[in-house]
Structure 1
Amino acid sequence: MSLEMPALIKKYTGDVETHHVTTKDGYILTMFRIPRKNYKGVILLEHSLAVDSRAWVGQGNESLAFYLWHAGYEIWLSNARGTLISSFHEIGFYDLSSQVLLAKNYSHSKIIYIGHSQGSSAGLIYSSLHPKEANNSIKLLVFILFPVSLSLLNLLLSFFLGWTPKQADPAVLNFDCGVYLSDFSWKLLLHYLQLVKSETRFQQFDYGKQRNLKYYKSELPPRPGLGTPHP
């Protein structure tokens, strides 16, 4: 991508704001706001694994962020943490809580949350662990999930990109290669692989029986709503 995010957004919308928010556990996150007067609603877009907010703006006016902005919505673009020790529980519990409140306070409106793949997992965690806050801050939750695939290659691509080779759009292939892989946490990938192995159990990160007992007071990791995430 030849333009940096603020310049790219301004090219298509004429205006952009850069905001920084500090989470309760000390991470400083960057967000981009595409303001709009007399908006229909306020939308927060949360990206998938191994990518950042550029994923929402890489197709010009056909990008989801710009399409929704032209349709009359104010847009917020999130960038999640990407450290080695982070999982999507931390993103949902800490990052989204801070980002949603920032967007709500600036835009003076409840938020329409759209999460892609990892962003969907984080949205589930956020709404489960912060139910009162989510009820007061979120108007609608929209989850765009990755496709189910039996092929290991397709499964990995689904985790990283949100689509399989058959679903790829050649028109944006160069952009996708430039964005993926962004910095991300290997713990995130391991966490998703644990969920695949567990088949039906959506749970916090599994450290093994001994460390689970230390962190969770249980041999099995708790499910959303049964405790805060652990580092």
Structure 2
Amino acid sequence: MKSVLLLVVPFMVALLFVPQKEHNTCRSYFGYFNTFFSSDCYYNPDIDDDILGIIQRHVGVHETHEVQTEDGYLLTLFRIPRQNPKGVIFFQHSLATDARTWISQYNESVAFLFWRAGYDVWLGNTRGNHFCKKHVSLDPTEATFWNFTFHEIGYYDNHASIKYVKEHTGGSKIIYVGYSLGATSGTVYASIRDKDAADSVKLMVLMTPTSHSQFNCTSFLKYPFFIFYNLQGIVNFTDPLFVVNRQDAWYVKIVRFLATHFSCKKCVLYFLHLFFGSSKYDIEPDLINMFIRVHGSEYPLKITYHYYQVYAVDGKFRRYHYGEERNLLLYGDKEPTPYPLENIKVPVYIMHGENDNLDCPDAAEKLYNMLPKNTTIYGKLMVEGYNHLDFSHGRHRNEKVYSKILQLLDKINLND
């Protein structure tokens, strides 16, 4: 019996890390245990291609644009152009990702759905991510390059990107769709650049805005939240050492390799549930490797720490807390300045998940109730059974989320 186990156990362990060269996609989670011989598995070129190659394969047209922010960052925008479009739509991604989020569901990708529905589609990128590591005078190896949070992304990046898109599409107002960090920064932009936003944005769709959550959420992240919050004054979060997900970092390469080649893909889902909430609509088996591929773009821990300040203190959506002395210099008060949500003039449509552990339902409701009444005329939507990640890769995402946005846009266009 022992000799049999000595032969079988190493073989079973080896199966967990079978290299997936020809077959990188399976229609069932069980198929990943034997990608070479399972009839459920096949090769999908999207997984090994770059963003422009994927767009070219599924749509056939694309453009690349570069935008400079007021503080000198150079941002890359991708466009899927439309002749005589119904409207112009701008997508802003979540934390630790980039524009690839919107083209990572193969032919059913969000960007392609809206393009086929008749919209001129623009995909944004924020400073420091995979496509935006350039500045007019700073280098990514310098600490100053990474000295930003979602505040700068909202105030500078969103402003520059939206202004550029508007100017290059005839000057009409655009539709802004922000997911997680993209929703947080969108809220920042609309509240402190309220006049510009009112002039440039027709509708702001905020999916899982993560602006008022607290520790009453059940995410496993509450524990590192506590640790990081208590490191205040000890760790310099603007140091380049504290940049997460560097593409060339050894730990990123190892994690991505193991996650891609790990046969028990269901285990990956269970791990994600700890952080983002349980889900009735987990990632489809044929999307899991693409999901792993596109999640991993650089960002400074200072962004995370800004979120920690919101989560750990009182759930208030405020600017970065530098300490009483510096707060007095920057804000004229010992406490960080709250974002003036009452200034928002753009119509806002909030979407959040029932099982979201990062942007809990009560937090999304709190944001909704704090907005001016004239901006919530289109209401809100809580998606039953959805967690935080389902808005990008959950099953039935087009039916439960993006078709609802398209229906709302059709309604708005009819009323114009």
Aligned partner of 2:324 in structure 1 is 209
State which of 110, 123, 127 in structure 1 corresponds to 2:173. Answer: 110
Report the secondary structure of 2:195's partner residue: helix
**1:175 positional shift:** 1.4
Q: Which residue of 1 aligns with 2:96?
A: 50
Using the size of structure 1 for normalisation, the TM-score is 0.89
CA RMSD of aligned residues (A): 2.3
Shift of residue 79 of structure 1?
A: 0.4
Picking from 218, 242, 247, the partner of 1:150 is 218
Gaps spanning 5+ residues in structure 1: where?
Answer: 227-231
Q: Deviations over 1:87-124 (max 9, x none)?
A: 01100100011100111111122110000001111111
* Deviation readout 1:131-150 (Å, 9 max, x if unpaired): 11111110000000068741
Using the TM superposition, give the Cα deviation of residue 168 of structure 1 relative to its aligned residue in structure 2, in angstroms: 3.4
Question: Contact conserved, 1:154 with 1:165, CA < 8 A, in 2?
Answer: no
Q: Which residue of 1 aligns with 2:66?
A: 20
- The equivalent residue for 1:192 is 307
Partners of 1:146 and 1:163 within 8 A in 2: no
Q: Name the SS for the 2:299 alignment partner.
A: coil
Which residue does 1:37 correspond to in 2?
A: 83
Shift of 1:182: 1.1
Q: Partners in 2 of 1:126 and 1:40 — Cα distance?
A: 25
Distance 2:201 2:308 in 1: 29
CA drift of 1:155 comes to 9.2
Tell me which residue corresponds to 1:164.
277
Which range moved further: 110-119 or 167-176? 167-176
Amino acid at match of 2:309: Q
The runs of at least 4 consecutive aligned structure 1 residues that moved more than 2 Å come to 146-149, 153-157, 162-168
TM-score, with length taken from structure 2: 0.51
- Asked if 2 retains the 8 angstrom alpha-carbon contact of 1:195 and 1:201, the reply is yes
Q: Structure 1, residues 60-79: CA drift from partner, whole Å, max 9, x if none?
A: 12111111111111100000
Structure 2 unmatched ranges of 5 or more: 1-46, 129-144, 225-268, 342-416
Q: How far apart are the structure 1 equivalents of 2:163 and 2:151?
A: 18
- Name which of 145, 153, 158 aligns with 1:91: 153
Q: Helix, strand or coil for the counterpart of 2:175? A: strand
1:153 Cα deviation from its structure 2 partner:
4.5
Residue matched to 1:229: none
Aligned AA (1:99): S
Map of 1:128 onto structure 2: 191
State the alpha-carbon separation in 2 of the partners of residues 154 and 181 from structure 1: 21
Matched, 1:66 2:112: yes
Provide the C-alpha distance between the structure 1 equivalents of 2:182 and 2:90, rounded to a whole number of angstroms: 11
In structure 2, give the amino acid aligned to 1:119: G
Secondary structure of the equivalent of 1:19? strand
> Matched residues in 2 for 1:86 and 1:56: separation?
24
Equivalents in 2 of 1:163, 1:173: separation in Å?
16
Q: How far off is 1:163 after superposition?
A: 4.6
Segment drifting more, 200-209 vs 80-89? 80-89
User: Are 1:100 and 2:162 an aligned pair?
Assistant: yes
Per-residue deviation, 1:208: 1.4
Measure, in 2, the Cα distance between the counterparts of 1:43 and 1:52.
Answer: 16
- Residue 115 of structure 2: SS of its match in structure 1? helix
Deviation, 1:200, is: 2.9
Question: Which structure has more RCO (C-alpha within 8 Å, separation ≥ 6)?
Answer: 1
In structure 1, the partner of 2:202 is 139
CA distance in 1, matches of 2:58, 2:223: 34
